[in-house]
Amino acid sequence: MPKPKKHPAARPVAAATTPPDRAPLTGRFGVAEGVALFAAALCLLLTWLSRNTLNPDGVSYLDLATRLAQGDWSSFVQGYWSPLYPALVALVSAIVGREPVTLIATAHAISGVFALLTIALLWWWGRALPGRLFGGAAVATFLLISAGLPRIEAVTPDVVLLAIMAGIGYELLPRRGERWLLLGLLLGAAFLTKTSAWPWLLVMVPLRLWGARDRTERWNVMRSSLVAIAVMLTWIVPMSRKAGAPSFGSASSLNTCWYLEACDSRTPDTHLGGHRAYHQVNVDSAGTLVWAEFATGEKWTYAPWSDPTAWSAGVLSNHSIVPTAWDLVSYWTRQFRNTFGLWLLPVLLGILLPSVLLLRRAGRWRALLAEDRMVLVTALLGFAGVMQFVLIHSEPRLIAPFGLLLALAVLHWASSGAATPRGSPLLLHPGVTLLGMAGAIGFAVPRLQEGWRSSMRIDGLVNAIAHTDATMRSAGMTQERIVVLGPAIPIEASAYLSGAHIVAQLLPSSVEVLKRLPTDQQQRVIGALFSGKADIAWLTTLDAGVTMVVIPKPGDR
């Protein structure tokens, strides 16, 4: 009589076991957790030290935040600066206040919060992978990818974009785009954070379609792309209406002019050509004085830099150089060398290369064209984002978000799949993380020291400005409207901290003409040109030096 067959027990759909090299979520504290907490502490410290630090780009973002907070939507909509970051500052300012020092601290706090969110996401992402490497190595990469700590001290949206790019990486790799609505919102937010990224977003669609495994994933690509387009249109439509033609923004065209063609019309600081805002007068035999008047001076700290699109529209002529093929090759070679041979090199050699060598497995390279294709797609997207800036203008804070996406793809690929390969010493895996952290600390120490010194200098500047304002008010004068004699960009942060708006500027080349005049004639010329426009003129230098000059009123000697 035949024996009855034994049927194997049905396997559960999801195994409840924990990988051998992975501890349960509760009760675990390892290298990744220690690295994440240390990184968070560094970012919090940098946020505090840089709370009053301000750069010229930051003045423009804060000006835009003020315009939006005051309901001036027409001025807020412009083509160069991206809208999401100043919108966040404007939103928070409704709670904390809109004084200049408060807005600066608010902007840094926003960057600090997004830095902490990025660290938390990378740590959480690492818990979904079987190896010990990803969490700590990814956080170390985050601390190094900007050629040092994230640029929290710069009032720019770059740290926000770092967080968004980490979210995009998480949705593309472990989630494979299945949460298409969230992924689409993140892609749209990437555009609102850095509008010059729109070519990168276009490249993403065919690459993701190529990386999709089945019809469902291809549909998710299209759904997320439609969501991203809907978010992008919230900015593209008002920009296009203001420009009178379809527009993705002016950042690409203006940066191409400034960096590839060496146009000198970026601001009056360097412009030697003509502009609709310029006026000129001959002064005896000394020469010709050229100055600019800014009709929107009451809105902007420095109109040419707070709205470069409008300023560029008024340029009548500029001095530029049409680059030859050799010039372009030479420029791109320098850009590529600096990007990959200097700024990204610590991550490439200190983290990514050791990770791949430690966790390589037979067949994994071939899998990049099969089941691991989304890893290759994500890495290519990161590389394409970096190269977009290499082609026009590359610097660490600009390439960092896309470099992070590239690095996360490599780390995810190296850490996923089977557990630790045989013969690979376990101690070497946290060793990669600690090597990266050692590099990050090496970069962090001088940055924190400079942050401390900068904090002390700016605190002194704020106190000096308050004293100067009190003295001027007692004399019946105000510093809300000023005239700049010389370069304006170096002193723009000081003007913002003073609550000043630059309403006119004597071009730097004309300052030398003015200085050739006798002192009494200098006073008469300044009074004749700028009386009634402001009470005070700032005589400035390239190293941010300022000498205050009282503008004589009619009847004054």
Three-state DSSP string of 169-219: HHHHCCCCCCCHHHHHHHHHHHHHHCHHHHHHHHHHHHHHHHHCCCHHHHH
Give the residue with greater pLDDT, 23 vs 148: 148
pLDDT value for 417:
59
Report the pLDDT averaged over residues 134-149: 92
Most trustworthy range by pLDDT among 62-71, 419-428, 474-483, 539-548: 62-71
Q: Is the pLDDT of residue 27 over 90?
A: no
The values of phi and psi at residue 77, to 5°, are -80, 110
Looking at 13-157, list the stretches that DSSP marks H as alpha helix, in order from N- to C-terminal side. 31-49, 56-69, 73-76, 84-96, 100-127, 134-144
Q: How many angstroms separate the CA atoms of 311 and 495, rounded?
A: 19
322: left (phi over 0), alpha (psi -120 to 50) or beta: beta
What percentage of the chain has pLDDT greater than the value 70? Answer: 90
pLDDT value for 360:
62
Local structure of residue 152 (DSSP, 8 states):
T
Strands 481-485 and 287-293, how do they pair?
unpaired
Instruction: Please enumerate in sequence order all residues whose Cβ is within 8 A of that of 184, keeping only pairs 6 or more positions apart, or say none.
Output: 223, 224, 225, 226, 227, 228, 230, 231
Chain-centroid distance, C-alpha 233? 21
Measured in residues, the chain has a length of 557
Local structure of residue 394 (DSSP, 8 states):
-
Residue 3: burial class (beta carbons within 10 Å; 0-12, 13-18, 19+): exposed
Nearest CA-CA partner of 166 in 507, 520, 402: 402
Most trustworthy range by pLDDT among 95-99, 248-252, 379-383: 379-383
Are 291 and 506 in contact, with CB atoms under 8 Å apart? yes
Q: Which residues pair with 34 in a beta bridge?
A: none
pLDDT value for 366:
74
Q: How many angstroms separate the CA atoms of 56 and 69, rounded?
A: 20
Report the pLDDT averaged over residues 261-275: 94
pLDDT value for 426:
43
pLDDT value for 419:
41
Q: Is the pLDDT of residue 116 over 70?
A: yes
Report the pLDDT averaged over residues 505-534: 91
**Integer angstrom CA distances of residue 60 from 57, 195, 198, 271, 304:** 5, 15, 21, 20, 10
Report the pLDDT averaged over residues 422-432: 54
* 278-283 β-sheet, strand order: 278-283, 287-293, 501-506, 481-485, 536-540, 546-550
Q: Is the pLDDT of residue 261 over 50?
A: yes
Name the least confident of 328-337, 403-412, 455-464.
455-464
Are 204 and 187 in contact, with CB atoms under 8 Å apart? yes
pLDDT value for 450:
81
Instruction: Provide the pLDDT confidence category of residue 423 given band limits of 50, 70 and 90.
Output: very low
Strands 287-293 and 546-550, how do they pair?
unpaired
Report the pLDDT averaged over residues 381-399: 96
Residue 244: burial class (beta carbons within 10 Å; 0-12, 13-18, 19+): exposed
Are 308 and 254 in contact, with CB atoms under 8 Å apart? yes
Q: Return mean pLDDT, the chain.
A: 87
Chain-centroid distance, C-alpha 135? 24
pLDDT tens digits for 191-232?
A: 999 999 999 999 999 999 999 999 999 999 999 999 999 999
Q: Is the pLDDT of residue 10 over 60?
A: no
Report the pLDDT averaged over residues 247-254: 92
Q: Is the pLDDT of residue 335 over 70?
A: yes
The values of phi and psi at residue 188, to 5°, are -65, -40
Chain-centroid distance, C-alpha 68? 20
Instruction: Provide the pLDDT confidence category of residue 113 given band limits of 50, 70 and 90.
Output: very high
Give the residue with greater pLDDT, 32 vs 227: 227
294: left (phi over 0), alpha (psi -120 to 50) or beta: beta
526: left (phi over 0), alpha (psi -120 to 50) or beta: alpha
pLDDT value for 555:
62
Instruction: Provide the pLDDT confidence category of residue 67 given band limits of 50, 70 and 90.
Output: very high
Residue with tokens 């071009």: 507
Residue with tokens 């109109």: 303
**Integer angstrom CA distances of residue 245 from 43, 237, 259:** 42, 10, 25
Give the residue with greater pLDDT, 158 vs 357: 158
pLDDT value for 29:
67
Chain-centroid distance, C-alpha 188? 16
Give the residue with greater pLDDT, 50 vs 5: 50
Q: Is the pLDDT of residue 477 over 60?
A: yes
What percentage of the chain has pLDDT greater than the value 90? Answer: 65
Q: How many angstroms separate the CA atoms of 11 and 498, rounded?
A: 70
Looking at 299-368, list the stretches that DSSP marks H as alpha helix, in order from N- to C-terminal side. 303-306, 308-313, 325-338, 345-347, 353-358, 364-367
